[in-house]
């Protein structure tokens, strides 16, 4: 029997039992659609997270006090002098810029409205290190650092909450913990990141924060942001930073009392987490395909029973075992293939709906349907049809012609 003839006979059989075939295909459709939609959502979440981490800054390194992997006694805090040493081009030639910061969640008010936001005391280098741009106004400069000026830059989320708009704010006055600060600029929106919303912030001069709002002992800083000269020099910069801090903190043996993270570390961690999440979702959705495959086997067994006399007549007229096997395998494969095609379309539609719902709820997840997901779902659905069609097809092919013709 030629494959084209087998396909035509399989189509005739499916058309003759439209309702039963449609319900069988539905199981595969749901399974394939679930796999594609889940993988698309997982990939979209991964793209969003890694994109937001990359948007934090260019070639960025983060230096924290304390060791996140080992317990360390007598941890020395990071200081402004540590930041100055890292910024020394003779000690760390792979470092382009350094921005120490002080941060705290404080109350900000304007015209009777108030909210609690993250206040960051920053230096002028913070703008370049964190890739910040302004919607209006100017960034903090050295004169304002030296003069401990009462000036502030607003994130767009803070501007929306307190004032209700983002333009024409330069010259307005807000109060931080009751102290007046003149607005000198509004930051461009950057969205969320692993550190929370990057738009729900207020930036003030580092010196002002240290003396009036966020007091720390011994010139302590909370985090040091470091920008490497290039992406290729990030690892070299991390080694140079570690060596400088070991010397300054007099660490000869034992674990470091600080941690240096790179953007690649955060991206790799985020990709690992979202990868496991995606595999889990795909596995759960794959169960639907398994259930659909069992449905195919069930229907094919029913079909074999109903067509026992037909099979006996075919074999009596000279049909070989391979011909009967091909006929029923073609039917089961066709069921799963049609289910796969419709499932791909439904999966794309579900992904689109999820993206629209996420956008309506201000959740920046854009489901991404890759060709790999489509090929995986299609091949898997076809394999399910073949696998679960083998037993019914083999049972039909092994029927004895005489016994089959006697079947009522």
Residue span of the structural domain in which 224 resides: 77-248
pTM for the structure as a whole: 0.59
What pLDDT score does 317 carry? Answer: 64
For β-strands 151-154 and 179-187, DSSP reports them as parallel
Instruction: Using the 3D structure, point to which of 248, 279, 301 is the last residue of a domain.
Output: 248
**DSSP line for 10-30:** HHHHHHHTHHHHHHHHHHHHH
d(CA 255, CA 294): 56
Same domain, 104 and 219: yes
Instruction: Using the 3D structure, point to which of 181, 216, 248 is the last residue of a domain.
Output: 248
d(CA 225, CA 18): 65
Instruction: Using the 3D structure, point to which of 192, 217, 248 is the last residue of a domain.
Output: 248
Q: Is residue 377 part of a domain?
A: yes
Q: Is residue 117 classed as helix, strand or coil in its secondary structure?
A: strand
Asked whether 303 and 32 are in contact (CB, 8 A), the reply is no
**CA nearest neighbour of 192 among 42, 358, 351, 350:** 358
Q: In which band, very low, low, confident or very high, does the pLDDT at 139 lie, cut at 50, 70 and 90?
A: very high
d(CA 25, CA 195): 46
Mean pLDDT, range 287-305, rounded to an integer: 70
pLDDT tens-digit readout, 332-387: 777 777 888 888 888 888 888 877 777 777 666 777 777 777 777 777 777 776 77
Same domain, 13 and 82: no
Same domain, 231 and 275: no
More confident residue, 285 or 205: 205
Mean pLDDT, range 140-158, rounded to an integer: 90
Same domain, 302 and 392: yes
Name, of 18-22, 81-85, 253-257, the range with top average pLDDT.
Answer: 81-85
Q: Is residue 177 part of a domain?
A: yes
Same domain, 215 and 316: no
**Tokens of residue 293, six digits:** 């495959």
What pLDDT score does 182 carry? Answer: 92
Which of 149-153, 161-165, 286-290 is the least confident region? Answer: 286-290
Mean pLDDT, range 110-130, rounded to an integer: 87
Mean pLDDT, range 112-120, rounded to an integer: 87
More confident residue, 300 or 195: 300
Same domain, 241 and 272: no
pLDDT tens-digit readout, 6-58: 677 767 777 777 777 787 778 778 878 877 887 787 777 777 766 665 555 55
- pLDDT at position 194 over 50: no
Which of 120-129, 324-333, 383-392, 399-408 is the least confident region? Answer: 399-408
More confident residue, 148 or 322: 148
**CA nearest neighbour of 341 among 306, 385, 301, 403:** 385
- pLDDT at position 161 over 90: no
Same domain, 96 and 185: yes
- pLDDT at position 177 over 80: yes
Same domain, 217 and 275: no
Q: The tokens 């690892």 sit on which residue? A: 235
Number of structural domains (the chain) is 2
What pLDDT score does 403 carry? Answer: 56
Q: Is residue 227 part of a domain?
A: yes
- pLDDT at position 203 over 90: yes
Q: In which band, very low, low, confident or very high, does the pLDDT at 153 lie, cut at 50, 70 and 90?
A: very high
Q: Is residue 261 part of a domain?
A: no
How many CB atoms sit inside 10 A of residue 305's CB? 12
Q: Is residue 336 part of a domain?
A: yes
Q: In which band, very low, low, confident or very high, does the pLDDT at 401 lie, cut at 50, 70 and 90?
A: low
Same domain, 162 and 242: yes
pLDDT, mean over the chain: 78
Same domain, 39 and 81: no
What pLDDT score does 294 carry? Answer: 74
Angle subtended by helix axes 321-360 and 371-397, to nearest 10: 150
Same domain, 106 and 212: yes
Q: In which band, very low, low, confident or very high, does the pLDDT at 171 lie, cut at 50, 70 and 90?
A: confident
Which of 75-89, 191-205, 246-260 is the least confident region? Answer: 191-205
More confident residue, 231 or 88: 88
Q: Is residue 212 part of a domain?
A: yes
Q: Is residue 314 part of a domain?
A: yes
Q: Is residue 384 part of a domain?
A: yes
- pLDDT at position 170 over 50: yes
Same domain, 346 and 383: yes
């Amino acid at each position: 029997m030629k494959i084209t003839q087998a396909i035509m006979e399989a189509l005739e059989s499916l058309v003759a039992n439209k309702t039963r075939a449609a319900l069988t295909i539905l199981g595969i459709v749901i399974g394939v659609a679930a796999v594609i939609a889940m993988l698309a959502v997982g990939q979209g979440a991964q793209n969003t997270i890694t994109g937001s981490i990359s948007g934090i800054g260019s070639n960025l390194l983060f230096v924290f006090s304390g060791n996140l992997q080992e317990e360390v006694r007598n941890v020395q805090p990071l200081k402004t002098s540590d930041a100055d040493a890292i910024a020394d081009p003779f000690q760390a030639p792979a470092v382009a810029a350094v921005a120490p910061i002080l941060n705290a969640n404080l109350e900000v008010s304007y015209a009777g409205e108030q909210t609690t936001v993250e206040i960051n005391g920053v230096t002028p280098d913070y703008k370049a290190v964190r890739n910040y741009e302004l919607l209006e106004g100017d960034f903090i400069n050295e004169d304002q650092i030296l003069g401990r000026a009462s000036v502030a830059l607003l994130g767009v989320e803070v501007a929306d909450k307190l004032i209700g708009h983002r333009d024409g704010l330069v010259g307005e006055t807000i109060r931080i913990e009751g102290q007046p600060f003149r607005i000198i600029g509004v930051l461009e929106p950057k969205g969320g990141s692993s550190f929370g919303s990057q738009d729900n912030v207020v930036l003030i001069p580092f010196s002002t924060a240290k003396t009036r709002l966020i007091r720390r002992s011994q010139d302590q800083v909370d985090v040091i942001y470091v920008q490497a000269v290039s992406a290729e020099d990030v690892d070299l910069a991390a080694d140079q930073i570690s060596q400088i801090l070991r010397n300054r903190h007099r660490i000869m043996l034992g674990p470091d009392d600080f941690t240096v993270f790179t953007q690649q570390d955060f991206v790799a961690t985020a990709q690992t987490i979202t990868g496991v999440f995606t595999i889990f979702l795909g596995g759960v959705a794959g169960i639907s395909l398994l259930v659909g495959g069992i449905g195919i086997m069930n229907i094919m067994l029913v079909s074999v029973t109903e067509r026992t006399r037909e099979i006996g007549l075919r074999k009596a007229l000279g049909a070989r075992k391979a011909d009967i096997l091909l006929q029923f395998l073609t039917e089961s494969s066709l069921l799963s293939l049609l289910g796969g095609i419709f499932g791909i379309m439904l999966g794309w539609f579900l992904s689109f709906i999820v993206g629209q719902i996420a956008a309506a709820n201000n959740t920046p997840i854009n489901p991404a349907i890759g060709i790999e997901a489509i090929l995986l779902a299609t091949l898997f659905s076809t394999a399910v049809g073949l696998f679960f069609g083998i037993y019914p097809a083999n049972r039909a092919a092994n029927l004895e012609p005489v016994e089959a013709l006697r079947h009522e």
